[in-house]
Every structure is written in C-alpha cells, then in structure tokens.
Structure 1
C-alpha cells in the first residue's frame, strides 16, 4: 500500500514540476508587463523592478498552483491509464474512488497553503506594493531633468540647466494660470526640500516677473 502511494506521489510530483514552470512563466510575463507599464511612468531601475516582482510573487503562486495541481492530476491519471498501470493498481485492491481520495488529500494540503497565502501573505504584499508604487510615482513627479522642456511642477513649467546631486542650477519657472495672470521666475540655484511629508522647491537668488491685470511687476 505504501509503495502504491509512493508511486502515485512520484508520478504526480513529476507532472506537477513539469507543468509548474510553464504556468509560472506565463503568469510571470503578465505581471512583468504590468510592472513595465509602471516602469515606463516612473523610470524604475533594475533593483526597483526586482523589488516589485518580489511583491507580486504571492499573486503568481496563487494563480499558478491551482492550475498546476489540476493539470498534474489529469496528466498523472492519463499517463497511468495509457500505460495500463491503473489496471495493475486496481488489481491490488485500489478502487478509483480511493485513488481520487489520495489526490484529494494532496489538494487539501495545497488549499491550506493557498489559504495561508490569501489571509496573511497577500495583504502584506499588496500593502507594500501599493506603498512602493506610490513612493515611486511621487518621486517621478519630483524628477526634473536638465535641459528638457515642458516639465511640470504643480501648476508651473520648469526648466533647469544642470542637476548636480539634487542641486539645480539656472532655473526658469513659468506660470500661466489665465490670460490675465502670467509670471516667470529666474533663480541661480534650488533644491527639493521636505517638511511634514510634503515637498517644496527651495530657490536661491531668484527674480520674479509678474504680469497681472495689465500690470507688470518685478
């Protein structure tokens, strides 16, 4: 009896491992494409990309394991049937219901694993992933590239000539809220500062030109 169970387990394990990798790759590609979409918006480096992929691993396993288990059971029974090994197992006193009950026991173990993933791992991974995405999107909004036009900072358009370790040089900011209000600001230097979880642009040695209601001010 133990040898029959071991034989069934051996065949099931081979089928499971054979199917798991293709299913894992397919589901991984789907999530990699989703991560790539975020990478396009925020310019993620390889380390950030790998961090996000680790966060989505529980989702990949959650989608892959049930499909692989079902496919492995079908493939195992089909292979045993084709090679007439099921007949030999039946001759040893194993009924079809008993064989299915054995696979049912394996399924219960996988179900318990998925329940643990669902109740404990997925919520943590989801929260960390959302926080990481929010952080990267926030950082992307604060990323100002040198000598690039049409960059926005809030309601302002900004242009810088240099960015030396976070220190901006020769800054130009233009604001056009409506036709009766225009302002342009020139500053020698500036940098992003944080206060109470909010960021602002601290400018040095600047001159502001403002046009409002047909009046020009400096």
Structure 2
C-alpha cells in the first residue's frame, strides 16, 4: 500500500509527513508521448525540468499490479532506481460500468502491441454492442500518480472524472480514449476540448491537484 493511501486510514499511527518536491530534474516514467506532453505542461509552472523514461532509454517495466496505484508505483520505483532521479509515473485508464470496469488497468493493452487506440475504442464499442441496445454508456477515467525518490520514498495520489461514452469518436486532440469520452456536463469529447481546458478538468488534473497540494 502506498504511503498516501495509508494516510487515509485514521485508525493507524500518526500520518507520515509529505516530502516536499524541490525544483530540478524529474523523470516522467512513461514512453507515451501524450502523457509526456500533458504531465510536462502541468509541471512547467513549478520550475520542474522533465525528461521522459523513453528519452533516457529506460525500459518499460511489466505492469503486474492489480490496481492503477500499484502499477504507477512499480513504474515510478524502477525509473527512480535506474535514473537516480525523482520519478513520476502515471497509470490511468478508462473504466466502463457496463463492461464490469473494463478495460480498466488493461486500457493500453486493449490497443495492442501497435498501441492503436482506434482499435481499442472499436473494441470497447463492440463489447458494448454485444450486450445489446440497453447497455449503459456510463464510464469514468482514473489516474494514479506516483512520485518516487531514489531512496525509495513514494507518494501516490488518485484522480477521477465521470462521464459517458460517445460513438463514433470525435476530435483529434488528446490521446488514448479521449475521442470517445464526454465528461458529465459537457457536450464535447476530450478529443475535441482545448488542451488547456482538458488539463484543468481531467482525471490526471484531479490527481495532480492533490499532488501539488501535498508536495509543493
């Protein structure tokens, strides 16, 4: 269990203090260009210089966790250990209620080895079609952000945004499943939203706000 999640249990010992993040270089433990852009933009105002795991030639670890938080933590730990720098990892995905929460932690894997999210979105649509016209379209995105220091200290924060699925996909902004997701209260998909607006309302933004409040 991450230290951040442990802090939510008031029955245990006194909470572990958050460790403040100082200005300097931070590894983004991802090979996903969309996540690199989005997380880099969120960190830029805080004087944090980011470099991706891909740019450093770090391997992509096997995601063996059973939750978003567990996968984010294992990616952050490996990047921090290999780079000797604080490392921030994201594990996020689309959860569709009518599919029992799938694709969930397997969201990237539904896109196949080529990471073609047009294939992944079609797969979601086809699975819903198999359940008939009355299958609900409720869905939510989840993001777990884990920040790990080279000495092994780690902090994890989770965010969520609820919405509905749209078909066919719309918009060429964002990445992943963004073109088929409409946040509750909106009419545009995440793939149609201005990037600055999406950065302020997404599941990643929700997790990032919690990280900033604790660590900066």
Which has the higher Rg, Structure 1 or Structure 2?
1
TM-score, length basis structure 1: 0.25
Structure with greater helix share of residues = 1
Q: Which has the higher contact order (CA 8 A, sep 6+)?
A: 2
Structure with greater strand share of residues = 1
TM-score, length basis structure 2: 0.25
